[in-house]
Structure 1
Amino acid sequence: MRWNAASTLALALMGPGLLGTLAAMPRDDSNAAMELFETAVRPLFAEHCFSCHGQDRQAAGLRLDTRDSFRKGAASGPLVDGNDPARSRLIRAVRHEGPVRMPPAGKLRESEIAVLERWVRWGAPWPDGRSPAPSAGGSFQPTPAQRRFWSFQPIRRPAVPGACGNGLAERRSGSAASGGSAPDAAASRPASADPWTPRGKRASVHAGTSPVNPIDAFILARLREKGLRPAPRADRRTLIRRATFDLLGLPPTPEEVEAFVNDRSANAWGKVVDRLLASPHYGERWARHWLDVVRYCDSLDSRVVGQEADISEAWRYRDWVVNALNSDMPYSDFILYQVAGDIVAETGNDGLRAAPADRADAGTRRVDEGQCARGSPAVQVASGRSAGAHARTGGQRLVSASPRKPLASNHAARPPRATRGSFNPDAIVATGMLAIGNWGNGDADKEKILTDMADDMVDVTGRAFLGLTLSCARCHHHKFDPLSTEDYYGLAGIFFSTHILPKLTPKGQGEVMLRIPLISRAEQARRADLAARTAEAQQRLQVERERRYAAHARTLLPETARYVTAAWESSRPHEPPEAFASSRGLAPYALRQWRDFLGYGDYRVMSTPVRDVLGAAGVHAWKGASDTPSATINTTGEARSLLTFTLPARSVSVHPGPANGVVAAWRSPVSGRIALAGRVADSDPAGGDGVAWIADHRTGGLSRELASGKVPNGGAQELSAGQGAERLARVEVLQGDEVQLLVLPGETHTCDTTTVELRITGPDGRTWDLSRDLAGDPLAGNPHADGFGNSAVWAFYDMAASRRVRKDLPAAGTPLVALLQALESGDRQRVEAAAIDFAAGFKVSDASSPFWIRDVADESALPEIDRVELARLARELEDLRRQAPPPPAYANGAQEGGVPESTHAGIHDVRVHIRGRYDRLGELVPRRFPRILAGDRQPPIREGSGRLQLARWLASSSNPLTARVIVNRLWQHHFGEGIVRTPSNFGFLGDRPSHPELLDWLAAELVNPTADARVCGCAGTRTPQVSPAHRHDPAPMPWSLKRMHRLILLSETYQQSSAGRPETVRADPDNRLFGRMNRRRLEAEPL
Structure 2
Amino acid sequence: MRRLDHMPLTHEHSRSLFSLLSGGLLLFLIAPVAFAEDAASEYSAEQLTFFEAKIRPVLVKECYCCHSEKAGNIRGGLRLDTRELTHIGGDNGPAVVPGDLEQSLLYNAVNHEDFRMPPNRKLAPEVIADIRAWIEMGAPDPRERQVEQIQPSVTAEDIAQAREQFWAYQPLRQPEVPQTQDSNWAITDIDRFILAQLEGNELPPAADAEPQKVLRRLYFDLIGIPPTPEEIQDFENVWKKNPSDAVEQVVDRLLEMPQFGERWGRHWLDVVRYAESTGREVNMTYPHAWRYRDYVIDAFNSDKPFNEFAVEQLAGDLLPAKSDEESAENIVATTFLAIGPKNVNERNRIQFQADLVDEQIDATTRVFLGSSVSCARCHDHKFDAFRQADYYALAGMFNNLTTFFGAPPSDYGPYRQVQVQRTSSLIPLPVDDPNDAKPKYTSVQMEKMKDEMKELREEAAEVRRDMRSGDNQANVLMRLIRTSNRLAELSAKLGSVDENGIPISFCMGVKEERRARDLPVLIRGEIDQRGAVVPRGLPQVFATESFAIPSESSGRREFAEWVGSADNPLTSRVMVNRIWQNLLGYGIVRSPENFGVTGESPTHPELLDHLALEFVKSNWSVKTLVKEIATSRVYRISSAFSPSAHEIDPSNRLLWRANPRRLDAESLRDAMLAISGSLDEERPHAGPVYDAGYTRVRGGTLGGSPEDIRAMFQSAMNAQRGQGGGFGMNQGGFGGRFRTPFMPRPNQPNAFANAMRSVTHQLDMEDAKFRSVYLPIVRDELPRSLEAFDFADPNSITGVRESSNTPNQALYMMNNPFVLKQADALAGRVTKEHNSLGDQIDLAFQLCYGRSPTVDERTASSNFLRQFNETSASQRSRTPGSPLAMAAFCQALLASAEFRLID
TM-score of the aligned structures, taking structure 2 as reference length: 0.48
TM-score of the aligned structures, taking structure 1 as reference length: 0.40
Bigger strand fraction: 1
Bigger helix fraction: 2
